[in-house]
Structure 1
Amino acid sequence: MAEYICVLNKDTIIIKPAKKTPILLRMIVLVFAMVCGVYICSVCLKQISTNSKIKIQDIQVIERPSPDVDHENLQISTVHYPNPETFSRAECAQNPVRYFAILSMQRSGSGWFETLLNSHVNVSSNGEIFSVLDRRINISSITQTLDKVYNLDWFTSASKNECSAAVGFKWMLNQGVMQHHKEISDYFNRRGVSAIFLFRRNLLRRMVSVLANSYDRHAKLLNGTHKSHVHSTEEAETLAKYKPMINSTLLISDLKEVEITATKALEYFNSTRHIVLYYEDLIKNPTV
């Protein structure tokens, strides 16, 4: 550090040392800089780790054909001409039919999305058919059920007519999809089934909806009845009056578990023809 030199006269020179910064102040500044550096590094590493492990939040609308499918004949592999055993398609026998399956989680907007599909006169989405345990008890029962649906021999309130152009259903990930993912993926590729992944970006709101729906199952707030899907503003407001208690200790781990499940599902069905949609995006633009 520089020193101050004071000349009183030509015979006398006084050298004054520069003022020194107190050692305590230096240590405080050093510690503060180190703490800030460690914090910034930890935040950066956490973001990098999260983005590398869970990429689902960056996905919006994706269509990825299977690499095993001949792209020149892709149109042929996804168009079918089923021959039902329970009725005759008559003059519509030569009308092509497409197969699809909505893969989702409870309280992610799948019911509303399925209503959109069924509003088309020639599209049939047959609901949550694998909610019945016997239909998913093993891969054989799953395959038999799928064959029946895609052969147009499965009848529900959503069933249309002999001229149906697309047929499918919604399938929750906790209803045998993850346990038998390899066999189901092979079936989708073999039969040309298109998978529609429907997720919800706001996982906390989904959790609240799950808790509220579970409570209403027992309390039956709507005039003594339980409805998983409401159809009016009044019904929605009645259910919204219930404020569930959330376990803050388990909150982060529960939300991460949901994210991991969705990520695994995308990995399992990466080789199938599929798209990924989000409930929030559809609400903003249903025509997407």
Structure 2
Amino acid sequence: MAEDPSFLPKDGFVLKLPKKSSLVLRMVVLLFVMVCAVYICSICLKQIGVSPNYGFLNVEVFERPCPEPNIEPWDIPFVHYPKPKTYNRDECSCHPVRYFAILSMQRSGSGWFETLLNNHTNISSNGEIFSVKDRRANVSTIFETLDKVYNLDWLSSASKNECTSAVGFKWMLNQGLMKHHEEIVEYFKTRGVSAIFLFRKNLLRRMISVLANSYDRDAKLLNGTHKSHTHSAKEAEILAGYKPMINTTLLINELRQIQEMTLKALAYFNTTRHILVYYEDVVKNLTRLDDVQEFLKVPKRKLKSRQVKIHGGSLSKHVQNWEEVMTTLKGTNFENFLHQEF
């Protein structure tokens, strides 16, 4: 006879859980507590302004150094790798740059000379930047301007699309250069700036050009416009039509003062790396520009300029009182100026 299930003891219906179930439950509880703890900690960190780092690596990128240029040891201070603040040099970042300054005087051919240099794809000469008085107010403003130029942050029409190999500008002797020559010489030597002296041999012809240019500032002979340089023979002819009157009483003294200033400049900057170029030598023989390109360590190119000379030929046709000038200079150290063509 089968047993009646209703008469079975109550304990027969109690299922005992295995011991493993309690272990799993404990693990779940522990995991929940840990998650809560992490969450609470992250909230606290955010409130005190500390951002947790969730396992991301901070990778610091180092710039690849530029290869050493193949130059002589003495030339190393004159090779630079500027890093402009206004733009990124990108593919030109490892292209070495040399710094220069054209030291000259007004009406000495520096404008024409600079256009020749700027005709080179790798040379940028930024004009007469210290003609603005504020830039030469004191040594500090001078240095600030120089730093901007040599850091390639001075943007002008001379800026090139090609990689710049030499950067500089024109600096007239009377634009703070002589006044602060000691500090500027030290700057040139510290920063590795090379000086290009450009002077005229014939100071009388320069004087005539200065007087004529000064007259045109007010007269504005070219359709009411003053031009220091011309790009056509017609414009040059119009400007050359004015013949200045030279004060012969002061003539010799003024020529001597200009001569002395030139010699002083050469003496002041004698300890810098420099080259001396005369305007007349370049006019007679453009191969003199090869020496300048070699000095700047740029590839040699045939350089051209669109500027047209204003006062060409004999000086006798450019001065009102020529006979008086001849009489004054005859028998002096300046007599040769009367006959030089350039």
Q: Which range, TM-score by smaller chain?
A: 0.7 to 0.9
For 1:125 and 1:271, how far apart are their aligned partners in 2? 23
For 1:191 and 1:225, how far apart are their aligned partners in 2? 40
- Show the 5 A alignment for 1:227-238: 227-238=227-238
Q: How many residues align?
A: 218
Match of 2:221 in 1: 221
Cα deviations by residue, 1:197-234 (Å, 9 ceiling, x for unpaired): 00001100000000000000000001110001111111
1:283 match: secondary structure: helix
Alignment of 1:256 onto 2:256 = yes
Q: Structure 1-normalised TM-score?
A: 0.74
2:81 match: secondary structure: coil
- Show the 5 A alignment for 1:106-145: 106-145=106-145
For 1:249 and 1:276, how far apart are their aligned partners in 2? 31
Letter paired with 1:253:
N
Moved more, 221-230 or 158-167: 158-167
Match of 2:211 in 1: 211
For 1:162 and 1:179, how far apart are their aligned partners in 2? 36
For 2:159 and 2:122, how far apart are their aligned partners in 1? 9
1:194 match: secondary structure: strand
For 1:230 and 1:258, how far apart are their aligned partners in 2? 25
2:185 match: secondary structure: helix
Q: Greater strand percent: which structure? A: 1
Match of 1:151 in 2: 151
1:103 match: secondary structure: strand
Structure 1: segments with no counterpart, 5+ residues = 1-70
Letter paired with 1:252:
I
- Structure 1 position 162, deviation (Å): 6.3
- Structure 1 position 75, deviation (Å): 1.6
For 1:268 and 1:189, how far apart are their aligned partners in 2? 12
Moved more, 155-164 or 78-87: 155-164
Match of 2:333 in 1: none
For 1:280 and 1:106, how far apart are their aligned partners in 2? 15
Match of 1:49 in 2: none
Match of 2:194 in 1: 194
Letter paired with 1:122:
N
Letter paired with 1:178:
M
For 2:258 and 2:235, how far apart are their aligned partners in 1? 27
For 1:212 and 1:262, how far apart are their aligned partners in 2? 22
1:167 match: secondary structure: strand
For 1:78 and 1:231, how far apart are their aligned partners in 2? 35
Cα deviations by residue, 1:63-110 (Å, 9 ceiling, x for unpaired): xxxxxxxx9622211110000000001011000001000000000000
Percent identity, please: 72
For 2:79 and 2:229, how far apart are their aligned partners in 1? 32
1:198 match: secondary structure: strand
Alignment of 1:167 onto 2:153 = no
Match of 1:96 in 2: 96
Contact 1:97 1:167 in 2 (8 A): yes
Match of 1:85 in 2: 85
For 1:256 and 1:271, how far apart are their aligned partners in 2? 25
- Structure 1 position 287, deviation (Å): 2.3
Contact 2:122 2:162 in 1 (8 A): no
Contact 2:121 2:162 in 1 (8 A): no
Structure 2: segments with no counterpart, 5+ residues = 1-70, 289-342
For 2:123 and 2:228, how far apart are their aligned partners in 1? 23
2:79 match: secondary structure: coil
User: Whose RCO is larger (CA < 8 A, sep 6+)?
Assistant: 1
Letter paired with 1:128:
E
Match of 1:180 in 2: 180
- Structure 1 position 161, deviation (Å): 3.3
- Structure 1 position 118, deviation (Å): 0.2
Contact 1:89 1:162 in 2 (8 A): no
Structure 1: 4+ residue segments shifted above 3 A: none
Letter paired with 2:105:
M
Contact 2:128 2:172 in 1 (8 A): yes
Letter paired with 1:176:
G
2:169 match: secondary structure: strand
